[in-house]
Amino acid sequence: MEPSVTELEERIARGEGKDLEFKRGLPRDAKTARTLCAFANTRGGLLLVGVGDRGEILGAPHPRATVEHLREIARFQLDPPLDVRIGTATIRGHVIVWCSVPISPARPHAALDTEGQGTVVVRAGSSNRAATGATLALIVSQRTGGKSLDPLQKSVLEWVVDVNRRARDPGGVATVAGFAQARNVGVQRARRAFTSLELAGRLVGHGRGARRIYAAV
């Protein structure tokens, strides 16, 4: 359901918190992805673009472009992709952009950085933090418990085991790029499958970026 102007004004008046974040303009993609990810993994939340830190109604720069950009971030920079509701509202003559993020049944989501590496992020008060230890174990179990692997994930596991078994390097040689080339799969699609398996505890990775080496657990 689309929030009314009155509802938005009331929430803005209460200030930022565990389920509300203000931004003057859309931050860099990785930072925005972390906010959406944190809301989805925790209790859900609302991101408002065009609102200052103290609740000043400033208006979002390029509202239509901001809406489309948010959709792209939710789709391409989170693993798994996230369904969000996005719209605009005019408050005191200024157009702001709102993005409503529900708590996700597909959690945990991971925010992908510029190298395609995923970090599970949760909301702590009014800030976003990487999930570690018991927190990460809990939300991973909520997603992976009892779920079977899809065909691409199975293909990744089989390939990783086989290519590392045949490799002379004891550290392994299985990479996302290697799988994508061997199985004729898009690199982005392959990377998501690798990230999902790593978050589920089925793969362990070492290194960063394109040189990250994976082994089956």
CATH top-level class for 151-216? Answer: mainly alpha
Q: What CATH number does the domain located at 5-142 have? A: 3.30.950.30
Segments of the chain assigned to CATH 3.30.950.30: 5-142
Q: In sequence order, what E strands does the chain have?
A: 20-23, 45-49, 78-79, 85-91, 94-101, 110-112, 118-124, 127-130, 203-206, 213-216
Paired tokens of 5: 């102007």
Tokens, residue 155? 């293909």
Return the pLDDT at 146: 46
pLDDT mean across residues, the chain: 88
pLDDT, one tens digit per residue, over 121-158 is: 998 888 898 887 666 666 666 555 545 788 999 999 99
**Whole-number pLDDT of residue 209:** 76
The SS3 assignment for 162 reads: helix
Task: State the pLDDT at residue 118.
Answer: 86
Return left, alpha or beta for 213; rule: phi > 0 is left, psi -120 to 50 is alpha, else beta: beta
Q: Which two tokens stand for residue 178?
A: 């290697």
Q: Are 96 and 57 in contact (CB under 8 A)?
A: yes
**Confidence (pTM):** 0.67
Which of the residues in the chain have pLDDT under 50? 146
